[in-house]
Amino acid sequence: MFCSGCGRTLETGVAVCPQCGRIVPQAFPAAPAVPPPAVPGLAYQLDRYAGTVRMLGILWFVYAGISIFFGFIGMAFVHSFFSGGFGPWMHGSEIPDWIFPAAIHFGWLLLSMRVILCVVAGWGLLERAQWGRIVAIVAAILNLIHPLLGTALGIATLVILLGSRNSMLYEQL
């Protein structure tokens, strides 16, 4: 028999717990033994969290693919626009000729870095590495400003990976 207040083991016939002073109810007949409801254990929580982290890693790979696809389309449009593909009004401007190619190269650099960051975040989450969690959090913060998918994936990543409980579960993986 155990004390319901402090959990100390009690001898039969004791009316008061010697540790916490709580009265031990002995006058009531014992209820039939009913097993307590099943509470998900740590193994269940780890399996569920592992599935969530795996799905998050896959979503980072998908987002990298979508980013590179739409990045190629956007950069082709920008290249065509800056090279005079949209009419004769683009020629004869007073802007130096090196500005537009430099801007296009800078855009390609930013696109490449974002895609690489997304792929590394997804790979780190699938490998369940501690650095993968950190890279995914950084990628989530940087992608919060991207409309729709980037914002949704960034918020989901921060919710899934931040917090003491989630940090403990990720370390246990």
Q: Where are the domains of the chain?
A: 46-86+97-172
In tens digits, the chain (173 residues) has pLDDT values of: 677 777 778 777 777 888 777 777 764 455 566 676 655 677 788 888 889 999 999 999 999 999 999 988 988 888 777 666 555 555 555 666 677 778 788 888 998 999 999 999 999 999 999 899 999 999 999 988 888 888 999 999 999 999 888 888 888 87
CA atoms of 6 and 9, how far apart (whole Å): 9
- By the 8 A CB rule, do 12 and 1 touch? yes
- With tokens 């002995």, the residue in question is 26
- State the pTM of this model: 0.66
Q: What is the pLDDT of residue 27?
A: 41
Packing angle of the helix pair 99-127, 130-142 (nearest 10 deg): 140
